Amino acid sequence: MSGRFTEAELEDIKQRNPIADVAGGYTKLRRAGGRLVGACPICGGRTSSQRFEVIEKDGTWVCAVCPDGGDVIRLVEKVEGCDFLAAIERLGGRVAIDAKRQKEIFEERERKRLAREKTAADYREAERKRLFRTWKGALPIHGTLAAAYFEGRGLALPERCPGLRFLPDMKYFHGERIDDRGRKVARVIHSGPGMCGAFIRPDGKFGGLHLTWFNVQADGRVVKAEIVDPDTGEMLNAKKMRGSKTGAYILVSKALVLPRRLILGEGIETVDSVFTPWLHAGRSIEDTEFWAAGDLGNLAGRANTTIAHPSLKRPNNSPVRVPDRFPDPDDPGLAIPDSVEEMILLGDGDSEAFLTECAMERAARRYGRPGRVIRIAMAPSEADFNDVLRAA
């Protein structure tokens, strides 16, 4: 008998030997928050630490102590200390698979895959709806602590700013805790005033939220909150993005008419750092719109491939790879209105220079079309955008 197995034969063995049954024969498994956990049958990792886990929907297992994981065949190999062929024998061996059984095997696998995808899609949609309820419950931003935060940084809050709102009490989730019934649930480590920005998807629908937490200092100044991980003492980012932002943007300043000009940057404050001098210089904001994309990857969209960084190396001395200057044609990126004749892309100094340069060029290629001028404005830091624009 040859050592080679067809995909159908391996799939048949896995379907005949559900991972939960096989693992359950080696160790006592229990359900915890929708997961199957127990003592590791390989290393004996303790039940209490829940380091051995069976992922039924994927037909896999993982142990964080070993550390190892894989499918049911690999589990038998590790527990029994045998090789691949012996593991297969213990799982009932190879059986001849006729065309009918082969069809069944692949249909079953496809059915499971679709069920998994549907679960993931359902989860994303439930999260989107939760975030949308948060958004609907938030207050207009003008006259709030969030507005005071912008003022404190010398920034003007746009009059038409439909993409930003304020919440007096916003929860910051980090890590998990065990509830009264022994289930793992998301843990709230901070609660306080914050700003939420709505990501609008290419289809015009709400996609997710950009969240920023604030603290009010003794002198009344509003600053970004200092949030500390209670386990590690590590300072956490006072900003978070939840839901989906792919191809979506936050409308920082809305035009009064169909926009002819679009200013597009990564962060809300970066974009507002350009809006402010633009407003003070008396330049037209009636036909100009200001958008924040959330991050560089979303601003520029997916790349066709990755390229080697000219100087940065990984620990093994191979070059760091970064997304290329050319867009992946299958990713449309942000939905730029047809009316836009001029785009200014803001590259801020937060990300690595070469990575940023490639992303800016990629965005320019992606959004370029006859009759549209695209300019790239690079700045070493947010504040310097004022100088960049005065010089333009």
Binding site for Zn ion (CB under 5 A): 40, 42-43, 45, 63, 65-66
| φ, ψ of residue 196 in degrees (nearest 5) | -120, 140
Please say which residue, 40 or 263, places its beta carbon nearer to Zn ion: 40
Q: Smallest distance, Å, CB 182 to Zn ion? A: 22
Compute the least distance from the CB of residue 17 to Zn ion, in Å.
Answer: 20
Q: Is the dihedral of CA 179, 180, 182, 183 positive or negative?
A: negative
Nearer to Zn ion, 51 or 190 (CB): 51
What are 290's strand-pairing partners? 253, 263
In angstroms, give the least distance from the CB of 16 to Zn ion: 25
Nearer to Zn ion, 46 or 133 (CB): 46
Give min distance, CB of 63 to Zn ion, in A: 3
Q: Residue 200: which residues within 8 A CB-CB, separation 6 or more?
A: 163, 206, 207, 248, 249, 250, 251
Looking at the DSSP bridge assignments, the partners of residue 253 are 290
Q: Please, is 74 exposed, middle or buried when counting C-beta atoms within 10 Å of its C-beta (0-12, 13-18, 19+)?
A: middle
> If DSSP codes are grouped into helix, strand and coil, which group holds residue 235?
strand
Name beta bridge partners: 242.
209
Closest approach of Zn ion to the CB of residue 44, in Å: 7
Please state whether beta strands 250-253 and 288-292 pair in parallel, antiparallel, or not at all (unpaired).
Answer: antiparallel
Cβ closer to Zn ion: 37 or 346?
A: 37
Minimum gap (Å) between residue 67 Cβ and Zn ion: 7
Identify whether the C-beta of residue 370 lies closer than 8 Å to the C-beta of residue 338.
no
Cα–Cα distance between 75 and 87 in angstroms, integer? 9
Q: How far apart are CA 343 and CA 249, in angstroms?
A: 15
User: Nearest approach, Cβ of 24 to Zn ion (angstroms)?
Assistant: 16
Secondary structure of residue 78 in the 3-state scheme: helix
Distance, in Å, from the CA atom of 80 to the CA atom of 281, rounded to the nearest integer, reads 75
